[in-house]
Each structure stands twice: as C-alpha cells, then as structure tokens.
Amino acid sequence: MSSVTVDHIPPHAGHDEHAHHVPRGWRRWVFATNHKDIGTMYLIFSFCMLMEGGTLALLLRTELFEPGIQFFQPELFNQFTTMHGLIMIFGAIMPAFVGFANWMIPLQIGASDMAFARMNNFSFWLLPVGAILLTASFFVPGGANASGWTMYAPLSLQMGPGMDFAIFAVHILGASSIMGAINIIVTILNMRAPGMTLMKMPLFCWSWLVTAYLLLAVMPVLAAAVTMLLTDRHFGTHFFNAAGGGDPVLYQHVFWFFGHPEVYIMILPAFGMVSQIVPTFARKRLFGYASMVYAICAIAILSFLVWAHHMFTTGMPVTAQLFFMYGTMLISIPTGVKVFNWTATMWRGSMTFETPMLFAIGFIFVFTIGGFTGLVLAVAPIDIQVQDTYYVVAHFHYVLVAGSLFALFGATYYWLPKWCGHMYDERLGKWHFWMTMISFNITFFPMHFLGLAGMPRRYADYAAQFTDFHQIATIGAFWFGLSQLLFAYIVIKAFRGHGAPAPANPWEGAEGLEWTVPSPAPYHTFVTPPQYEASH
C-alpha cells in the first residue's frame, strides 16, 4: 500500500565496513550498547518480574479463598499486596514498555540506535539492582513494606527497614526511567530519518514521545515524595506529621501528582501498539492519524490536572471535589475518540485474526470496560461509596492487565518474527489468548460486585457473604497465572527456531521501516539513514 523507498540497505549486516564484530559471551550483555540487545534484556527482566509479582498475587488470592486466616497472617498478607503492586508496576509493566521502545523506536524511525547508547546500558542495569532490593526486603526484620504500593504516611513511617529498601529501590528504578525517557525523547526528536516528519511517524513512536515527557515530569516528583518519607522516618523532618506542623495529606497530593500521570505512562504506549496492530490486520490505514496524535497529547495534558480523584474522601473543599470530578470525566473524551478511531479502522477493512489482532481487539473490548468503570469512579458521590473497595481493584486491573498487559502480549506476537526470524506457533498463540482473556474476566469481573457490596481492599479477611465471588476470583487467578507459562513456552519455542522462517514482512498489511529490514533484524540496522518517502 505505501511506497517506502529506502536509499541504501547494506547487503550484509554491517560487519564489512568496520573492523567491528558482534560481541560474544557475557560481555555482550553486561556492556551492551545495542538497542536490540538492551531491548531484549528489558523484556526478559520484565517477564521475570511478571512471574514474581504474579506469584505474590496467587499467594494473596490463596489466603482470600475463604474467610478467616488460613495461610498468611495479615501483616504478611499486607506485604504481599504491597509488593505485588510495586513489582508489577515498576518491575514488569514499565520496563516491558521500555523494552519495546528500545527495540522498535530506532527501527521505526530509521535510526541506527538510541541517542545515548551507553546511558541506555546503565538504565537497564539499574533495574536488577532495584529488583533485588525489592525482593530482599522480604527478608529483613519486619519484612517488606506493608503500607500498599501507595505508601501513605503516617503508616509508612511505622514500617521497618523493608520500607527503606523499597524507598531506595524506587529511587533507583526512577533514575532508570528518567534516563530512559531522556534517551527516547532525544532519539525521536533528533534522529528520525530524513523525510520522516513528526506527523509521519508511526503512532507507537508518538505514544512513546508523549510518555517520555510524562516520565520526565513526574518521576522526580515521586523521588521527592519517597525522599520525604525517608527523612520523616530517619532524619527528624515532619513533612507528614501533624504534631510537627506537617500534614499526612501532603504526601497524598505529592504522590498522586506523580501517580495519576503514572497510570497514563503505563497505557499510552499500549495505545501506540494497538494503533500499529489493528491497521496491519485490517489491511487499512489507521483512521484519523492526526486525531489520534492530538488525543494522546490531550490525555497527557489532562492527566496532570486530575490527581485528587484518588483523594475524594480526604475531605477536600467542595470546589476542589467538583474541579477534579469534571477534569476526570473529561479525559474520557479523547480516550473515547481513540476507541472510535480503532473501530473505524476496522470498519470496511479486510481483517484476519492472528494472535496479535486477537490481543488488540481483546484490548479494545476489555480496556473500554475498564474505562467505563473509571468514568463511574470519576463521579465523586459514587466514588465515596466505592473508594478503597474492590470496585477500584477491578477497575485498575481491567485497564492495567486487560489494557497494558494485553497490548504487550499482542505487540510481542506482532514483532516476534522481526526479533527472532521465526514465526511463533499460531495455534498455541490463540490458545494463550483465549485462556488469558477468559480467565482474566473470571478473575476480575466479580470484583465489581464485591466493591459495590462494600468489600474493602487490602483486606486479608472478609465477611462470609463475599465468599463465592472471592472463590471465583481465586480460581480465575490461578488459571490466568498458569496461562502465562504457555506464553513463555511459545516465545522460547520461536526463539529456538521451531517455526517457519519469517520474511522481512510477515504481515500482509504492515507498514513501517521496521518491516524493510530482514527478519531477524541484523545486529546493526540503518547504519546509513534511509530516505523516507511514505505516501501519506
């Protein structure tokens, strides 16, 4: 459909011209500066964290199978819920998206690598350090942080040394994110191939450009918030202690000023991925490219103005309640536009439903449900009833799991042939999709009912009337967790070469520079920038 002319692709993978070889052994990985290698490491790391965070979830869901305390005392249970959140957000979802950014952005814009290749290495290697700190915190006296991933003061001031481990981990992971964000912005702004204007850039790159600005803006705020926790805990400050002239609610303002943009950081790249996948399998260009760009920007800007919708029960003045309610409701408009545009892309396309498309459509379907419950939560009076209940837990798992995680799965299947040169097993991929989709809904849909009925979150034990829905959720959770082992098998199987060799472009409707290089992508690509002339 498009005509992308590329000036010059070297016939070999770029080995000839320089006395330069692909590094071998452990040095290749420890000293990696290649965006593909670093991307691969991010993705493997994030999958390991997904398993660790998932195990924590299964542990707590096991305790929640019946009322009463059977396996884990409440203080340990609170550690599981807290660390499940921290590990999934900072260890699994965010690094996974950065892994995709590393792999795909240079390929999509025709750059040879990221702008700061060595800083890229440092950004990655900080992650295992942070992960070790988080994991180790379980084994210090008092155990891991048990104050929720949100770490509200003053509760977090009561925690033992595990809290300090978590604070340092957040510092380290945050530094990694900030450096990654700088790298991505500079790469996208400065290193696009000649002829690729911003408004011709693949939407995945747009989504990451905006996400990177969000990261840059709010990770420092989180760093400040947890530093203030640290100094309140150990250095005699009272930012959050009323007796010293401080205010616990100050922590919430600072935290959520980070926290709300953070959730958009975790979804915008997913929007970008879906916007690549749907046009490919509909064999039709993305509907309303410009609107999609504006919608991403609108969502990002609005995300700074709504943080206190997490604080409707703290006792804000009426005008503040209204302001944040209206702002939050407004975000649904650009988000809705995106859903409509994806639907319009599918409309009168010529669709096939390989695994990436299944996940993309699944994403739209289930993310929209999550979006609707978000709109319900935005209505402050309703929020008063369901804040801090399972209704909120249902909402954010719908947008983060059925949202972000589904997009990550879909994008993995989509770009896997490019990474490893082989097609994945399509039949198994479909199994993975359907098992994931069905078990996800079994796990999280009943939580809406639990929340409306008043079941609070972060509870190790509950009234007997809630039992049936909890049991359904636990069974669904185990099925969901086991299904992800199938995903690992599929990926490993493809990487070991058990699948049809993939051509440069295995997907009939796919457009973009990444599909002009061989599969697997050579170690060095676009050593000389291509001349980009898409017929747009």
Q: Which residues are catalytic?
A: 84, 113, 149, 176-177, 260, 262, 264, 275, 309-310, 335, 338, 457
Candidates 248, 304, 504, 518: give the one binding another protein (CB under 8 A).
248
Interaction of residue 456 with another protein, rule CB under 8 A: yes
| CB of 82 vs another protein, minimal distance in Å | 9
Q: Is 359 in the site for another protein (CB under 8 A)?
A: no
Query: 489, 452 in Cβ contact below 8 A?
Result: no
Does the footprint of another protein cover residue 217 (CB under 8 A)?
yes
Q: Which of 384, 488, 492, 500 binds another protein (CB under 8 A)?
A: 384
The candidate with the shortest Cα–Cα distance to 117, out of 24, 182, 197, 47, is 182
Smallest separation, CB 498 to another protein (Å): 26
Name residues contacting another protein, limited to 84-103 (CB under 8 A). Answer: none
Residues with Cβ within 8 Å of residue 285, at least 6 apart in sequence? 1, 279, 345, 511
The C-alpha atoms of residue 499 and residue 493 are separated, in whole angstroms, by 8
From candidates 138, 168, 304, 459, binder to another protein by CB under 8 A: 459
Q: State yes or no: residue 486 binds another protein (CB under 8 A).
A: no
Q: In terms of Cα–Cα distance, which of 394, 397, 485, 493 is closest to 435?
A: 485
Q: Give the range of 39-47, 95-103, 283-291, 300-308 binding another protein by CB under 8 A.
A: 283-291
Among 195, 200, 241, 493, which residue sits at the site for another protein (rule: CB under 8 A)?
241
With contact defined as beta carbons under 8 Å apart, do 309 and 325 qualify? yes
Interaction between residue 49 and another protein (CB under 8 A): no
Q: Which is nearer to another protein, 182 or 495 (CB)?
A: 182
- Residue in 7, 247, 426, 533 binding another protein, rule: CB under 8 A: 247
In whole angstroms, how close is the CB of 267 to another protein at the nearest point? 18
Residues in 386-445 that interact with another protein by CB under 8 A: 387-389
Token duo for residue 506: 């295995």
The answer to whether 373 touches 399, Cβ cutoff 8 Å, is no
Q: Which helix (H) or strand (E) holds 423?
A: none
Bridge partners, 389 (sequence order): 456
Count of CB atoms situated within 10 Å of the CB of 350 = 10
Residue 535 has, within 13 A of its CA and on its CB side, a CA count of 4
CA distance 225 to 251: 7
Report if residue 2 touches another protein, rule: CB under 8 A: no
**What H or E segment, with its residue span, contains residue 32?**
none
Does 315 bind another protein (CB under 8 A)? Our answer is yes
Question: Residues touching another protein: how many (CB under 8 A)?
Answer: 157
Regarding 467 and contact with another protein (CB under 8 A), the answer is yes
**How far apart are alpha carbons 221 and 251 in whole angstroms?**
11
Q: Point out which span in 87-95, 127-135, 330-338, 498-506 binds another protein (CB under 8 A).
A: 330-338
Q: In the beta sheet, which residues pair with residue 162?
A: 144
Pick between residue 428 and residue 527 the one whose CB is nearest to another protein. 527
CB half-sphere exposure, 77, CA atoms < 13 A: 17
The nearer residue to another protein, 456 or 495, going by C-beta atoms, is 456
Residue 285 binds another protein (CB under 8 A):
yes
